[in-house]
Structure 1
Amino acid sequence: MSETRSRRRRRAVIAVATVASAAVVGSTLAVTQMGASAAETSPVGYASMNGGTPGGSASTVVTVTSSSALASAISSGTSQTVRVSGLISVSGMLKVASNKTIIGVGSGSGITGGGLNLSGVKNVRIRNMVFRNASDDSINIQDGTTHVWVDHNDLASGYDGLIDIKRGSDFITVSWNKLHNHDKSMLLGHDDANASQDTGKLRVTYVHNWFEGTGQRHPRVRFANPVHVLNNYYRNIGSYGVASTMNAGVFVERNYFENVAKPTVTSTGESAAGNLKVLNNYKVNSGTEQVRNGASVAAIPYAYTPEANNKVKATVTAGAGTGKI
């Protein structure tokens, strides 16, 4: 028995060392683990590539409790961590500068009445924030913004999109968010006529998000290839789950669909069809996925370890949203 336990310990040490080695980030390719951990300290997927998304300085920290203080802190030229304390009422879209970590304190902090606008910036983390009743988008990422991590937020009841990514933005990970009580959840690519700016960009990883009673756009994709939709949980979806249009390439892998009549579609609105492939999605009282030209979906450019599809519901409902980091 002692020799058996010793061998098991040696194997465990080897396994840990192997995982640690796989987490090394190269100059152009991030090798990531996408297991069941609900509180990664750094992003997986696209936001981990090409230098990653470290966010604002952890040694320069400011806590804000008012709309004026919040607007000033997140738009300043200082690399810093901005701690949002309480649910702050704001008006319109607040400008976010580069090199920021915006993080809510506890489980109920965030903003109501407005949203965050990231335009032409880089290296931003938005974590543990509540977003309610935005007059436009809750989070708008546009105009070539790169390296953004949107993680462990709770978003609902906005006017337009909850998390919209467009106009040539790139290297973004959207993880562990809960989206509910809303129609148009997440747009990726804003217009059928924007191919020149968006083709080759809009690379986004959507992983471990929880969509509850939302209508459509989870996400709705134009041009981007490949987009990775992995290990998300969809329940009681009104119109459709994931849409690929305008020759986009979307890989929908090991998600959990419950009460979703159309888990995936390859056309919506007036947009031309996109490419979409599926792998091992778990379906409960849900329809058949639409696919198109699976070979036209490019390979995912990072290594990862997916979670088993039948475990996704339990993992995501336990870990997504605020108060989990």
Structure 2
Amino acid sequence: MSETAPRRSRRRRTSVIAAAAAGIIATTTLIAVGTMSAHAAESSPVGFASLNGGTSGGSSSTTVTVTTASALKSALSSSTSQTVRVSGLITISGMYSVASNKTVIGVGSGSGITGGGLNLSGVKNIIIRNLKFTNAADDSINVQSSTTNVWIDHNDLSNGYDGLIDIKRGSDFITVSWNRLHNHDKSMLLGHSDDNASEDTGHLRVTYVHNWFEGTGQRHPRVRFANPVHVLNNYYSNIGSYGVASTENAGVYVERNYFENVATPTVTQTGDSDSGNLKVLNNYKVNSGTEQVRNGASVAAIPYSYTPESNNTVKATVQAGAGTGKI
């Protein structure tokens, strides 16, 4: 789908979090961004998903293990706060809806979903971890319609039809961490369309940290309206089109990432969208071009405390720790 076409309605060691964002007080949470071991996976999300009351997912005392599409669909849509353990690679058709207060986690390194994806619409408090997503007929993970407090962590996503992780339509307080994305073009959309300012402005606050974009084309992420968006300590390797795009007056802070073989690490305009605001700090570049920037007060301050990893170590850390089988 082109950059300008409307999106379909069914798709879209440690420091203390102690700050406030837009009048919302952060809960006290430990954030492990910088000097942690690559394999020491966080037990709770860092960044925006730790705000607004935090993201705890479903109850760990109520657990169901699923091995079939029908059992998966039923468990995901249940009103019960629970942990859904996905065992094996389950073939589904279409998008399965995920209800509030769910942890969806893969068993081992090869469990997950093929043929379809997960739809989070108007829900809250969701954790998606350690899952393999491949060959989705639409989006692999679609977050939309004012969904809040989502943590998407340590997944492997590839070869979908549209977006791998799309976030849109007023959704907020989300962290996307330690995911490996590969064999795909349009990776991550943030913001539905150019005419959706009324719904998206003031929302879509997302932290992207320690993800590995491996040979993907574009949208890592591609942002509209959101401010701030924090793109921190990610590894970009052999990117086809561009790394990060800020459009439609968005404010994106691209900090201490590792770009290798990326001709255009960042852009402030793409498609027919109006330009956005983008500032960069200490990105590490190997055989890569110069970032496009629009610095200024229009990129809002990051509203949480964090300790970033040194830019030159990001590649090794992310390669060792991103994807499934690492938690």
| Higher helix fraction (1 or 2) | 1
- Determine which of 311, 314, 317 is the counterpart of 1:312: 314
- Determine which of 269, 273, 276 is the counterpart of 2:275: 273
Distance 1:34 1:234 in 2: 17
What SS class does the counterpart of residue 140 from structure 1 fall into?
strand
Q: Output aligned runs, 1:156-235, within 5 Å.
A: 156-235=158-237
With structure 1 as the length reference, what TM-score do the two structures score?
Answer: 0.92
- Determine which of 101, 120, 123 is the counterpart of 2:122: 120
Identical pairs, percent:
79
Q: Output aligned runs, 1:101-120, within 5 Å.
A: 101-120=103-122
Contact 1:33–1:303, Cα closer than 8 Å, also in 2: no
Q: 1:164-217 CA deviation, whole Å, 9 max, x = no partner?
A: 000000000000000000000000001000000000000000000000000000
Shift of 1:292: 1.1
Q: 1:231-262 CA deviation, whole Å, 9 max, x = no partner?
A: 00000000000000000000000000000000
Paired amino acid for 1:172: I
Distance 2:268 2:146 in 1: 26
Shift of 1:23: 5.5
* CA distance 1:226–1:23, change in 2 (3 Å): closer
Paired amino acid for 1:118: L
Distance 2:62 2:78 in 1: 12
Aligned length: 307
Runs (4+) of structure 1 exceeding 4 A deviation are 23-27
Q: Output aligned runs, 1:45-84, within 5 Å.
A: 45-84=47-86
Contact 1:44–1:173, Cα closer than 8 Å, also in 2: yes
Distance 1:61 1:46 in 2: 26
Distance 1:51 1:271 in 2: 34
Distance 1:127 1:52 in 2: 16
Distance 1:203 1:69 in 2: 33
Map of 1:34 onto structure 2: 33
Q: 1:29-63 CA deviation, whole Å, 9 max, x = no partner?
A: 25634223440000000000121000000000000
What SS class does the counterpart of residue 300 from structure 1 fall into?
coil
Q: Output aligned runs, 1:109-148, within 5 Å.
A: 109-148=111-150
With structure 2 as the length reference, what TM-score do the two structures score?
Answer: 0.92
Greater RCO, 1 or 2 (C-alpha within 8 Å, sep 6+): 2
Structure 2, unaligned runs of 5 or more: 1-12
Contact 2:256–2:284, Cα closer than 8 Å, also in 1: yes
What SS class does the counterpart of residue 196 from structure 1 fall into?
helix
RMSD, aligned CA: 1.4
Q: Output aligned runs, 1:246-325, within 5 Å.
A: 246-325=248-327
What SS class does the counterpart of residue 128 from structure 2 fall into?
strand
What SS class does the counterpart of residue 296 from structure 1 fall into?
coil
Map of 2:10 onto structure 1: none
Shift of 1:296: 1.3
Distance 1:205 1:241 in 2: 15
Distance 2:156 2:168 in 1: 21
Distance 1:62 1:85 in 2: 10
